[in-house]
Structure 1
Amino acid sequence: MGSSYISVADRITAAMSSMTRLEKRVARVLLARYPAAGLESVTAFAEQARVSAPTVLRFIAKLGFARYPDFRCALRDEIDDNRKHPPTKPRTKGPYSGCDDLSELLDVVRSTLADLDVAAVEAVIELFADERRSINVLGGDFTTTVAGHLLYHLRKMRRSVFELPATIQRRADRIIDLGKKDIVVLFDIRHSQTDVVTTARIAAQRGCTVVLFTDHSISEASEVAKQIFCAKAETSSPWDSLLGLTALVETIALALDRRLRLAARPRVETVGRYRRDLLRNERESLAGDHPGGS
């Protein structure tokens, strides 16, 4: 296939934000059994996804296919191409070379950013720049560090940014206060955490705008998300990579900084001054507690 070829999976990633809740369900079923689920009849595919056949047809139309046979043909072409050009398997023997790992990790970032929808970035920047809305961020067990990275940037640039508690009881206490003017940002990749998905659904029921960061397995939270960002996470290692998600967070943080830089400058400077004052007081307190202190 030519270098301009776009796989069905890549088309799904690009179109995800424009899909309805049921169309996103179809996408998740296909990606979970890719490409086998899409090679079945439209009726069988619809039954797997628990949707109607017309929903499946609307789903493939958003991928650029006018007819279901065209969609199935594209999947078969992918299978044939993979047979002719199987992916290079990671080296398991011989001396270790960090170059192989570096190349794979660079591909994680490149693939993630190549699939990034500029319109989705612009839309989420509009949301994040609106200080009438609170932003509430939640990561999963594995993705909590990336969620924290987003929190760090957002808190520097604007007010009303909160981390949703990891403790379920405390999280419920926070969610009850959220509504139509609030944003809930979730990080959830393959082997989804049910509590993260449930948080997304409850937030959507309360009228919150849900923003999801996920991988190509597409979290179930996508069904209620208004904006979805997909990162490549899978590597030849048993461990997923967070580089793709981190690249997305950095990209959005840079864009938001350009948007809010002048308005956020007094906040950044004041926070810096408060930190210096607090650190100075802490050092003075420690010096006073020292046996040699006054």
Structure 2
Amino acid sequence: MAEAAQTISDHIHKMLDDLTRAERQLALSVLENYPASGLGPLTALAKDADVSVPTVARMVQKLGYKGYPEFQAALREELKAKVKTPIAKHDTWAEAAPSGHILNRFTEAVIENIRLTLGQIDPTAFDQACDLIADADRHLFIVGGRITHTLAEYLFLHMQVIRPHVTHVQSTSNTWPHYLLNAKEGDVFVIFDVRRYENNTLKLAELAHERGAKIVLMTDQWRSPVHQVATVCLSNRIVVPSAWDSATTMMLLLETMISSVQTLNWTQTKARIEGLEDMFDQTKLFRKFT
């Protein structure tokens, strides 16, 4: 049986790279609507994932279960454990709203995403990412996608202040190959890529890797194909009751990363902030009340 300290979802994530194509397709289907996807009949799961019944049976055994009934029993135990150990002492987050109100349902999903993400993040890998980003001897390239470009811009804005040699690259732009001309061995690319993974982003990552660059990947729980060439991969849970995925957990990691890099570079960062504030004063960018 799977380790008690891990959820079945956790175990599946660790196995992804070792699965066959059909098994990986099944695993991603299970994770897409976890845990509800595994609570129905075996044949229904196989049909939803567009794989054979024997593929489901093999996958269940690889997870450490004797058969599908035992696998389902473990899923049900996970659900019971969630009921026994609520995230908060209060029944609702927005006390004026019913427990089923979107304010509460969405908040519960986000907090669960944070809990699961932090439970899986390797602190050593996170520190390695921060060290690479903080190293001012390495040119830093920041790449966002169609939706994640907002996160990339947020990181870029802060890194501009914290350290020199920072470039913001739009992966959707047809000019991004021009940026690669300046990339050299040891430079760092921070790449944001969540489902639906973008072909431009993958190609950019592959070419940067070929040039000897280090890649820090910010992705979702299913992991972008970019992870195959990434030096550090930081996965985030993103599913919420919405037609769109949530960026809250990724923003939490991002702001923690900014804080860490700022601390690592504080002497240089302090001098840059002082110079920037002086320019703000001269240009009267901000209103003063004293």
Question: Smaller-chain TM-score range?
Answer: 0.7 to 0.9
Q: Could you tell me which of 39, 54, 63 is aligned with 1:71?
A: 63
Tell me which residue corresponds to 1:243: 248
Aligned pair 1:266/2:271, yes or no? Answer: yes
Aligned pair 1:204/2:209, yes or no? Answer: yes
State the number of aligned residues: 250
Q: 1:196 to 1:40 in 2, by over 3 A?
A: farther
Q: 1:175 to 1:94 in 2, by over 3 A?
A: same
Asked whether the equivalents of residues 113 and 237 of structure 2 are also in contact (C-alpha less than 8 Å), the reply is yes
CA–CA distance in structure 1, aligned partners of residues 231 and 172 of structure 2: 25
C-alpha deviation, 1:230, in angstroms: 0.5
CA–CA distance in structure 2, aligned partners of residues 74 and 135 of structure 1: 49
The aligned amino acid for 1:7 is T
Q: Deviations over 1:70-100 (max 9, x none)?
A: 6342895543323566699xxxx99845222
Per the normalisation by structure 2, the TM-score is 0.72
The aligned amino acid for 1:32 is L
Tell me which residue corresponds to 1:32: 28
Asked whether the equivalents of residues 193 and 218 of structure 2 are also in contact (C-alpha less than 8 Å), the reply is yes
Sequence identity, in percent? 21
Which is bigger in relative contact order (C-alpha 8 A, separation at least 6)?
A: 1
CA–CA distance in structure 2, aligned partners of residues 267 and 178 of structure 1: 24
Q: 1:250 to 1:182 in 2, by over 3 A?
A: same
Stretches of structure 2 lacking an aligned partner (at least 5 in a row): 32-45, 83-97
Asked whether the equivalents of residues 183 and 208 of structure 1 are also in contact (C-alpha less than 8 Å), the reply is yes
The aligned amino acid for 2:120 is D
The DSSP-based 3-state class of the residue aligned with 1:103 is helix
Tell me which residue corresponds to 2:105: 100
The DSSP-based 3-state class of the residue aligned with 1:173 is helix
- Give the 5 Å matches for 1:129-278: 129-166=134-171, 168-278=173-283
The aligned amino acid for 1:164 is V
Tell me which residue corresponds to 1:80: 73
Tell me which residue corresponds to 1:52: none
Asked whether the equivalents of residues 113 and 248 of structure 1 are also in contact (C-alpha less than 8 Å), the reply is no
Q: 1:74 to 1:242 in 2, by over 3 A?
A: farther
Q: 1:97 to 1:170 in 2, by over 3 A?
A: closer
